[in-house]
Amino acid sequence: MTDSAQGPLSEFDIIARYFTPSVPAGMVGVGDDCAIIPVRPGYQLAVSTDTLIQERHFYGHTPADLVGHKALAVNLSDLAAMGARPRACLLSLSLPRVDEQWLQDFSAGFHQLCTDSGCVLIGGDTTRSNHGIIITVTVLGEVPVAQALLRNRAQPDDDIWLTGHLGAPYVALQLLGQHWPANPDLLKLALPRLQRPIPPYHWAPELLGHAHAAIDISDGLIQDLQHILGRSEFGAQIECAKLPQHSVLQHLDEAQRYEALLAGGDEFELCFTASPKSRAYILDSAAKAEVAVHRVGKITLAPELQIYGFDGQRLVDEQRFISASGFDHFAQ
Ligand code: ADP
Ligand code: MG
């Protein structure tokens, strides 16, 4: 292996030094043309991929260990939204230059979450980029055949549930983007939820057989819920008074609070639907797993989305939050 004192690390040095974890018996990991993962009888693989681009999905000054954490976390969130258990991941990294400190920290954050989640790094690609850092992670999870939580499975009268507490990533993004006046104290409270999301990947498989439809909240509750409604062809009522608020929201005015709760992205929490018969199971199972869950509304036969404000009345400007499409990278 080339030492940094003898010149910059090669592509193969980088892979060997930072991205070659050991893998469990029966798997083939980094170092061959393909990785191999055994799949247990009766299970299917759920597969998803997400890209993080510097200055688009993360700021260049973000500590690299947190970038490594988030690159995997956003993908684990997609597995959780299917009720799939993490098994393995692939990491494609495009870097403008070799920065060993950055690689050291990035890989430490990435590997820590691999270990915590049981998601083994089994391969990837390492290339040079012309501009900023581009990170693409692909995850593979296992789910019992035909039991995945699909977006089109919501049923009328289902409860709508949320994990976690909403709003902090929105606050952090408003402050970092200088859309709000600088407020270091507020940023300090909100930033950890933006930089270090922990989706409920451990608990999500417990929802199989109980939850009907699920989605993870990446673009905002109302946008993401509408994907379930569109696919299931039903409507919903959401009660803002029941939405679990992150403590940082107590520092906002009412209009900002609605915005953070209903339209705030980057949450990586789960929104799922389940029959009212499953309430006791969900509360009990979530409590055992130390996951916060709240019932925030219900699915309706009428294909309309109604939002009720903190005062229990229909939100006057609810249409502002409701639109046909989610976040669009190519929107002007
Ligand atoms: P190939 O020539 O087939 O593209 P590479 O030389 O790119 O293979 O990669 C060699 C091995 O290292 C492969 O097993 C590949 O999956 C793995 N690999 C490359 N980059 C990474 C990375 N960033 N993280 C994990 N594994 C990687
Ligand atoms: Mg390659």
State the CATH number of the domain containing residue 72.
3.30.1330.10
Q: For residue 330, name the pLDDT band (cuts at 50, 70, 90).
A: confident
State the pLDDT at residue 323.
74
Provide mean pLDDT across the span 188-201: 98
Give the residue, out of 102, 103, 110, 126, with the most ligand 1 atoms within 8 A of its beta carbon, to mutate for a pocket test.
126
Among the atoms of ligand 1, which is closest to the Cα of residue 32?
14
- Between the CA of 124 and the centroid of ligand 2 the distance, in Å, is 7
Provide mean pLDDT across the span 176-201: 98
Please check whether residues 49 and 137 belong to one and the same domain: yes
Q: Which ligand is nearest to the CA of 138?
A: 1
Q: For residue 76, name the pLDDT band (cuts at 50, 70, 90).
A: very high
Sign of the four-CA dihedral 120, 122, 126, 131: negative
Domain-located, residue 6: no
The answer to whether residue 4 scores a pLDDT higher than 80 is no
Please check whether residues 228 and 277 belong to one and the same domain: yes
Please check whether residues 216 and 160 belong to one and the same domain: yes
Q: What is the dihedral of CA 127, 1, 139, 55, to 10 degrees?
A: -40
Please check whether residues 86 and 178 belong to one and the same domain: no
Domain-located, residue 58: yes
Q: What is the residue with the minimal CA distance to atom 11 of ligand 1? A: 31
Looking at 144, 167, 198, which one is the last position of a domain? Answer: 144
The answer to whether residue 123 scores a pLDDT higher than 60 is yes
State the pLDDT at residue 22.
95
Domain-located, residue 331: no
For residue 236, the domain's CATH number is 3.90.650.10
Please check whether residues 109 and 221 belong to one and the same domain: no
Q: What are the pLDDT digits (tens) for 212-255? A: 999 999 999 999 999 999 999 999 999 999 999 999 999 999 99
Among the atoms of ligand 1, which is closest to the Cα of residue 93?
23
Please check whether residues 91 and 161 belong to one and the same domain: no
Domain-located, residue 161: yes
Count of structural domains, the chain: 2
Q: Distance between CA 86 and CA 89 in Å, rounded?
A: 8
Q: Which ligand is nearest to the CA of 106?
A: 1
The answer to whether residue 2 scores a pLDDT higher than 50 is no
Q: What are the pLDDT digits (tens) for 300-328? A: 999 999 999 999 999 999 999 997 555 56
Looking at 120, 144, 168, which one is the last position of a domain? Answer: 144
Please check whether residues 161 and 278 belong to one and the same domain: yes
Provide mean pLDDT across the span 34-48: 97
Q: What is the residue with the minimal CA distance to atom 20 of ligand 1? A: 125
Say how many C-beta atoms besides its own lie within 10 A of residue 325's C-beta.
Answer: 11
State the pLDDT at residue 3.
47
pTM, full prediction: 0.95
Please check whether residues 217 and 202 belong to one and the same domain: yes
The answer to whether residue 5 scores a pLDDT higher than 60 is no
Ligand 1 site residues (CB inside 6 A) read: 15, 19, 30-33, 91, 93, 121, 123-126
Q: What is the residue with the minimal CA distance to atom 8 of ligand 1? A: 33
Reference 226, options 236, 212, 239, 240; nearest CA is: 236
Looking at 125, 144, 163, which one is the last position of a domain? Answer: 144
User: Helices 11-18 and 100-117 meet at what angle, rounded to 10?
Assistant: 40
Domain-located, residue 1: no
The residues placing their C-beta within 5 Å of ligand 2, an ion, are 125
State the pLDDT at residue 326.
52
- Between the CA of 37 and the centroid of ligand 2 the distance, in Å, is 19
Please check whether residues 247 and 272 belong to one and the same domain: yes
Please check whether residues 272 and 241 belong to one and the same domain: yes
State the pLDDT at residue 38.
95
Domain-located, residue 136: yes
State the pLDDT at residue 332.
59
Domain-located, residue 206: yes
**% of the chain exceeding 70 in pLDDT:** 96
The domain of 81 spans 11-144
Q: Distance between CA 61 and CA 84 in Å, rounded?
A: 33
State the pLDDT at residue 324.
54
Reference 240, options 254, 224, 219; nearest CA is: 254
State the pLDDT at residue 171.
98
Please check whether residues 159 and 103 belong to one and the same domain: no
Mean pLDDT of the chain: 95
Provide mean pLDDT across the span 92-118: 98
Provide mean pLDDT across the span 93-111: 97
Provide mean pLDDT across the span 287-291: 98
State the pLDDT at residue 314.
97
Decide if 27 contacts 36 (C-beta within 8 A).
yes
State the pLDDT at residue 42.
98
Domain-located, residue 332: no
Please check whether residues 123 and 211 belong to one and the same domain: no
